[in-house]
Amino acid sequence: MRAFEYFTATDSKHAVALLAEHAPARVLAGGTDLLADLKASTHPLKTVVDISRASDMRTIEVNARGLCIGALVTHTEIMASKVIRDMFPALVDAAHTIGAVQTRNLGTLGGNLVTAVPSVDSGPTLVALDALVTIAGPAGNRSMPLAEFFTGPRKTALKPDELLVEIVVPKENLNKPAHFLKMGLRKGQALALVNAASSLWIEPKKSTCKNVRIALGAVAPTVIRAKTAEKFLEGRAATPENFAEAGRLAVEDARPISDMRASAEYRKDIVAVLTKRTLAAACAQVGAAKAPKGARK
């Protein structure tokens, strides 16, 4: 590893100032991805900005905007949070699939999202919950849907002097039933062949699906929404047959590749199965979930 300049940020504003002054720089949070990249990279690195001590990016809270998770919250902290466990067990399930215990202890939610690999495990559930990201820059903060934050494999909407500071599940989706599943070549420490998450409300009187969201990972350059399947389910009865048809339709939205881990056809089969199962599991949570006022409108 070659020598580089190293700066420690005290909070998010200081971090943005350092990034603006020393761009292009790499950001160090948990380091689980960055340190591996630095050791393997043949490209010279000039500057690293360490944001791990920025306490203003470590909060988990519910406020008027919804569930707000700081970008420096670790996967272990997500798993331990009573707020997240009660509202969104799917986020806990996704965090549990990320790496080993050591990785989850150090790795951060923001860092996992910023890597923007197509198989990112924290992405599908958040996309299925219409999560927003808050981005800080020299001109102030801006917000955008997480689904638009991913622009390509290992590419995001972040500018060189910007920083992901917060992830927000909007208030209208608090307690929305959701489920996450991942298929890998082994149970632990595996990249996803396919991962999927679904969320939905059920219209009580008609038992029909409302506000359906289906998100898929590892089957396109970025995490995607299966909009064909979502459109099919909207307003239809929450039945196993309709969930199975939604799974079939989700395959039409997927664009998987064949590689050394699996063929495209096998991945398509997995998409159909995981979509059906995540929808059924989310539906099974409906009796215990209560939508915020106006969420079903």
pTM of the model: 0.93
Domain residues for the domain of 123 are 60-173
**Dihedral of alpha carbons 235, 241, 243, 245, sign:** negative
Instruction: Let me know if residue 296 belongs to a domain.
Output: no
Radius of gyration of the chain (CA): 19
- 37-80 confidence digits (pLDDT tens): 777 666 677 899 999 999 999 999 999 999 999 999 999 999 99
Q: How far apart are the first and last CA of the chain?
A: 55
Instruction: Let me know if residue 294 belongs to a domain.
Output: no
Q: How far apart are CA 259 and CA 13, in angstroms?
A: 42
What is the per-residue pLDDT for 156? 98
- For residue 4, give the 3-state DSSP assignment: coil
Average pLDDT over residues 250-268: 96
Instruction: Let me know if residue 22 belongs to a domain.
Output: yes
Element (H, E) at 278: helix 264-284
**Which is nearest to 127 in space by CA: 109, 107, 143, 150?**
150
Claim to verify: residue 34 and residue 103 sit in the same structural domain: no
Number of separate domains in the chain? 3
- 3-18 confidence digits (pLDDT tens): 789 999 999 999 999 9
Q: Where are the beta strands (DSSP E) in the chain?
A: 5-8, 26-28, 47-50, 60-63, 66-70, 132-137, 140-145, 150-152, 155-156, 163-170, 178-184, 192-203, 208-217, 224-225
Claim to verify: residue 222 and residue 272 sit in the same structural domain: yes
Claim to verify: residue 229 and residue 135 sit in the same structural domain: no
Q: Is there a contact between 27 and 49 (Cβ–Cβ < 8 Å)? A: yes
**Mean pLDDT computed over every residue of the chain:** 93
Q: Does the structure show a pLDDT above 90 at 1?
A: no
